[in-house]
Structure 1
Amino acid sequence: MCRNIKTLFNFDPPATDDEIHASALQFVRKLSGFAKPSKANQAVFDQAVEDVAAIARRLVDSLETNAPPRNREIEAAKAKARAAARYA
């Protein structure tokens, strides 16, 4: 599950709220062990996702670096090349 959590810091353009939310969802899924929680746990699960997303947004927005921003397309191409080499 956690393989879907991507680095979100230092990209141009910056990480979107959807990307932050998707990472938070994967994180909460991993912690809870639920891909889809039961109705009894749905509210607390959803609240955890929202809490983690808010904290992740604050973190990503607060970090500083001197490195130039990374390009999403270049990083995606690198990841595809690594995957191709791994599964070839």
Structure 2
Amino acid sequence: MCRNIRVLHNFAPPATDDEIEAAALQYVRKVSGATRPSAANEEAFDEAVRAVTAATRTLLESLVTKAPARDREVEAAKARARAAERYGRPASAPS
């Protein structure tokens, strides 16, 4: 999976529309192999982002779980700690 696509399910508060669209954009970029489409492909690229955004929103609204919702700050701190261990840098909180 693309490292820029984050888990969006089971968070409190739920994923925002911007987060869902950002994940869809990353997915379409990865699949198409293009960060920015050419003028000839821009319409198809944008339509794919809209379709993936809608499908992702439908999926997230349909999923059920018995697990308690995860806290975004706790998960971000865990990710920073993993990155610090992986890259040998001190973990720091965002400004």
- Summarize the alignment of residues 29-68 of structure 1 with structure 2, pairs less than 5 Å apart: 29-68=29-68
Q: For structure 2, which runs of at least 5 residues remain unmatched after alignment?
A: 89-95
TM-superposed CA distance for 1:2, in Å, is: 1.5
Q: Which has the higher helix share?
A: 1
The TM-score normalised by the length of structure 2 is 0.91
Tell me the number of residue pairs that the alignment of Structure 1 and Structure 2 aligns.
88
Deviations 1:42-80 (A, max 9, x none): 000000000000000000110000000000000000001
The TM-score normalised by the length of structure 1 is 0.98
Q: Give the partner amino acid of 2:78.
A: K
**Bigger relative CO (Cα 8 Å, ≥ 6 apart):** 1
CA-atom RMSD, angstroms? Answer: 1.0
Give the Cα separation in 2 of the matches to 1:2 and 1:45: 18
TM-superposed CA distance for 1:8, in Å, is: 0.2
Larger Rg: 2
- Summarize the alignment of residues 8-87 of structure 1 with structure 2, pairs less than 5 Å apart: 8-87=8-87
Give 4+ residue runs of structure 1 displaced > 6 Å after superposition.
Answer: none
State percent identity of aligned pairs.
Answer: 64
